[in-house]
Amino acid sequence: MKTCIVISGGDAPGINAAIDGYARLAARQGDRVLGAQGGFAGLLDNRLVEIDTALSSLLAGRGGSILQSSRAPALRQPDARERLARVMAGRGIDNLLVFGGDGSIQHISPLLADWAVPCIFLPTTIDNDVAGTDCTLGHDSACNFASQALAGIRATANALPGRIFMLETLGAPTGHLALAIAYAGGAHLALLPEYPLELNWLAARLTRIVEREGHALVVLSEAYPAIDRLLKEIPQRTGIRIRYSALGHAQRGADASHNDRRLARDMSRAAWRAFKDGLRQGIVVERTGAVSVHEGGLPSAAKPAPDLDLLEFVNQL
């Protein structure tokens, strides 16, 4: 069996561990693994490399990906189906193992199914916004990265009271990531795009928190509406200065956590076994702690909004 690994869309911690897990397992069984450099655009251009297990093992815990990705809509080109078939036949590729987030799964998975291309997807995004799976690869690492930043901000907040500290996370367009970080980190407020708060109410709540605790610690998603307005008007309405930190893409490039390294190997092993069992289309999912391969595609509907009860608990509503 020969598999080609393709990274579609943004990177996430744990990709290297999953590549390493799949390649080492395949090598032990006499199978071969190629990797596309540059996502599906690279695959169509036949830019394929043999996976070097010595390199993948060395970098298994590092962020990023030893295979470059791409957001180019290469499979929408008129001749994409013929080019893909030609590359797969010419290189003797039996199936594709694709890493991608919600967009890749929703758009590319059904397309490859229509083309009868054997393919299994690994849900890979720090945003944790893929329907049908409790957790996506990379989410835990991004939370760990943010937790360390939040602890540093809290230390400064205690040493330098009388301020509002805000930490912006990635995660657009959803607030799943921000809520997970705010809850675990004990933030005073979480601001999510799905549940925007009225500005006067927010200003009054922040004022009371600072008066009571000496500082206010807020975690907000990058997709929260009108952040610039928030940063301008909250100090005007409260008389309290804001200190703002944005994690940016450093969060997505974090080293893989222990949980993500475990999840990566569980997911890659499940995918390899599914291919060996003859599965042609599927997505690896984690539900209630168990990893399995869901045959076919996932529901077309978006993942439900972040847990409102949990948000209300964090925000003391």
Please tell me the predicted confidence (pLDDT) of residue 223. Answer: 97
Q: What SS3 class is residue 249?
A: helix
Task: Give CA–CA dist 20/141, Å, rounded.
Answer: 17
For the chain, what is the radius of gyration of the CA atoms? 22
Token digits of residue 256: 């893989």
Please tell me the predicted confidence (pLDDT) of residue 200. Answer: 96
Please tell me the predicted confidence (pLDDT) of residue 255. Answer: 95
CB 271 within 8 A of CB 122: yes
**Does this model's pTM top 0.85?**
yes
Catalytic residue among 11, 20, 102, 127: 127
Asked if the domains at 2-138+256-295 and 139-253 fall in one CATH topology, the answer is yes
Q: How many residues make up the chain in this entry?
A: 317
User: Identity (one letter) of the amino acid at 204?
Assistant: A
The alpha helices in the chain, defined as continuous H runs, are 15-28, 39-44, 53-58, 80-91, 102-114, 139-159, 176-185, 199-213, 227-238, 258-276, 308-314
What pLDDT, in 10s, does the model give residues 60-89? Answer: 999 999 999 988 889 999 999 999 999 999
In a structure prediction context, what are the per-residue pLDDT tens digits for the chain, which is 317 residues long? 999 999 998 899 999 999 999 999 999 999 999 999 999 999 999 999 999 988 898 889 999 999 999 888 899 999 999 999 999 999 999 999 999 999 899 899 999 999 999 999 999 999 999 999 999 999 999 999 999 999 999 999 999 999 999 999 999 999 999 999 999 999 999 999 999 999 999 999 999 999 999 999 999 999 999 999 999 999 999 999 999 999 999 999 999 999 999 999 999 999 999 999 999 999 999 999 999 999 988 766 788 999 999 999 999 97
Write down the CATH number for the domain with range 139-253.
3.40.50.460
Please tell me the predicted confidence (pLDDT) of residue 66. Answer: 94
In the block, which residue shows the tokens 């009108």?
226
Please tell me the predicted confidence (pLDDT) of residue 298. Answer: 75
Q: Is 20 a catalytic residue?
A: no
Please tell me the predicted confidence (pLDDT) of residue 301. Answer: 72
CB 37 within 8 A of CB 49: yes
> Could you tell me the residue ranges of all domains in the chain?
2-138+256-295, 139-253
Write down the CATH number for the domain with range 2-138+256-295.
3.40.50.450
